[in-house]
Amino acid sequence: MRISREGGAVLCLAVLSMASNLALAVHGTAFDFLDEQTYMGAALQLVHGQSCTIVALPFSTPCNYEHPPLVKVLEALSYYIFGWAAPGQAVGSVYEVPLGSIAQILASFLSFRFFQIVMGALSVGLVYLIALGVSGNRKLALFSSALLLLDPLFAFFSRTAYLDVPMVFFALCAYAVYFRAYRLGPLNQYWVSGSLLALSFLSKETGLIFVPPLIVYHLLFRGAAWKVRLSEALELIASCIIVIAAGLQLFDTLARAPFPTFLDNLSYMVSFSQSISCGVHCYANFLPGPWYLFLTSIYWMVDLSNNPVLLGLILLWIPFGAWALLRRGKKVGPEDRLFALAALLFFTTFTANLIIYLGGRIVWIWYLLPLIPALSLGGGYLLTRKEIPRFARVAIFVAVVAGYLWAYTVGPNLLIYD
């Protein structure tokens, strides 16, 4: 199969993503970031065949039942592949990468993080497939992939044992299947996309954020009768629900979790989430607007940063795309539909985080990760608009690169965690 020039460039970007994460893994011999201990501990519980009893909320169980199981299963599998854990340490304690040869450091680092690194790299290609499937513009798709690579927050969590990058990865798989109309035997793209969205939820429950934008996009832009659109949307939703229920029930049974049915498991997740509150200091030190634009220093940022330029571009591509849609009226083109998809994903994520904030919850910086594909697609759309002078587009891209370098050096320094 012949690969286009742009496709080859995207493949190079994906390899660069993985190589840079592995290089930083070798650079940092004591990588341990917040909840990593929790997820790695839960993975080791699976490795040792141990289940847990439920404790009073909001305290966590060593098995981390308060989040869906898929990523912990993958981390347990990664452990089996690379075969390392700190010797003599109990489940749930601090896991630090030991000093040794480069091979030993890499093996220990990958023992719980292999799938995150691979999925982070593959996400670069998935953004390309989504953008190309919607717009048909290879240059736009390539820029979108490059912008995903140039977001340091996504890169950072692609080398952690967190749940968020797998959640985004499976959602991007679902979008790629939908927009490329891939089938799996007798299953059409709606059933396959819904199943992949279920895997996003089974990675982390906030994967549900990706469902409404796709459904709304389908209802607005699918060129078919309303009854057909509704039927196809229901197929997608039904497959998502079925796979979520089956996946949770299968895990609860095989892992001997203390939940009679998947509904009990879901109820526990919801109850745990509702039991957490950040208190008065959250409201005193946090506002959603500055958090999205990074105009001020925020307590709950934990010294991590997105690319501030990539975030700031929403002030350009959202007004520009809205103006283009209004100008074209009913003659909406494929690139306009890509803008609509990016805007839907952006506003869904922003609204969800705003609801969490207004409900008194901590809005952690990694809750922003579902937003990054929207920023990448919207930025790619902006950088390929002929209405914008070429010198301005070049200046914008150079500024994005500068923002990436700033986040790693002058700004909230991600390298302190490596």
> Angle at which helices 164-180 and 70-82 pack, to 10 degrees?
110
**How far does Cα 374 stand from its chain's mean position?**
11
Q: Residue 121: count other Cβ atoms within 10 Å of its Cβ.
A: 23
Residues 266-296 pLDDT 10s: 998 888 877 776 655 555 445 555 555 544 4
398: burial class by Cβ within 10 Å (0-12, 13-18, 19+)? exposed
Q: How far is it, in rounded angstroms, from Cα 161 to Cα 117? A: 9
pLDDT at residue number 142:
95
% of the chain surpassing 70 pLDDT: 82
Q: Residue 190: count other Cβ atoms within 10 Å of its Cβ.
A: 24
197: burial class by Cβ within 10 Å (0-12, 13-18, 19+)? buried
Local structure of 66: helix, strand or coil: coil
Flag the least confident range among 173-182, 203-212, 302-311, 404-413: 404-413
Residue 328 in tokens: 């074209």
pLDDT for 347 beyond 70: yes
Average pLDDT over residues 44-68: 83
List of residues 6+ apart from 130 with CB closer than 8 A: 141, 144, 172, 175, 176, 179, 341, 373, 377
pLDDT at residue number 41:
86
Higher pLDDT, 277 or 67: 67
Flag the least confident range among 50-54, 70-74, 358-362: 358-362
pLDDT for 383 beyond 80: yes
Residue 366 in tokens: 């990694």
Higher pLDDT, 216 or 101: 216
* Angstrom distances, CA of residue 76 to CA of 94, 327, 355: 17, 52, 33
Local structure of 75: helix, strand or coil: helix
Residues 104-163 pLDDT 10s: 667 777 888 899 999 999 999 999 999 999 999 999 999 999 999 999 889 889 988 899
Q: Is the peptide bond before 58 cis (omega within 30 degrees of 0)?
A: yes
**Residue 212: pLDDT band with limits 50, 70, 90:** very high
**Cβ–Cβ under 8 Å, residues 46 and 61:** no
Q: How far is it, in rounded angstroms, from Cα 226 to Cα 234? A: 12
Q: How far is it, in rounded angstroms, from Cα 13 to Cα 32? A: 26
Average pLDDT over residues 63-77: 93
Average pLDDT over residues 5-12: 88
pLDDT at residue number 303:
62
pLDDT at residue number 109:
77
Q: Identify the top-confidence range among 71-85, 225-239, 327-341.
A: 225-239
Q: Residue 313: count other Cβ atoms within 10 Å of its Cβ.
A: 23
Q: How many helices (H) and strands (E) does the chain have?
A: 18, 0
Local structure of 176: helix, strand or coil: helix
Phi first, then psi: what are they for 184, rounded to 5°?
A: -130, 90
pLDDT at residue number 243:
97
Residue 144 in tokens: 């979108």
Identify the CA nearest to 111 among candidates 121, 122, 96: 96
The chain-wide mean pLDDT, for the chain, equals: 84
> Angle at which helices 70-82 and 189-203 pack, to 10 degrees?
80
Max CA pair span of the chain: 66
pLDDT at residue number 299:
44
Rounded to 10 degrees, the C-alpha dihedral 47/250/167/345 comes to -170
The Cα angle at residue 212 between residues 208 and 215, in degrees rounded to 5: 125
Residue 117 in tokens: 């690194």
**Residue 330: pLDDT band with limits 50, 70, 90:** confident
| Radius of gyration, alpha carbons of the chain | 21
pLDDT at residue number 394:
94
pLDDT for 259 beyond 80: yes
Report DSSP letters for 120-151, one per residue.
HHHHHHHHHHHHHHHH--HHHHHHHHHHHHT-
% of the chain surpassing 90 pLDDT: 48
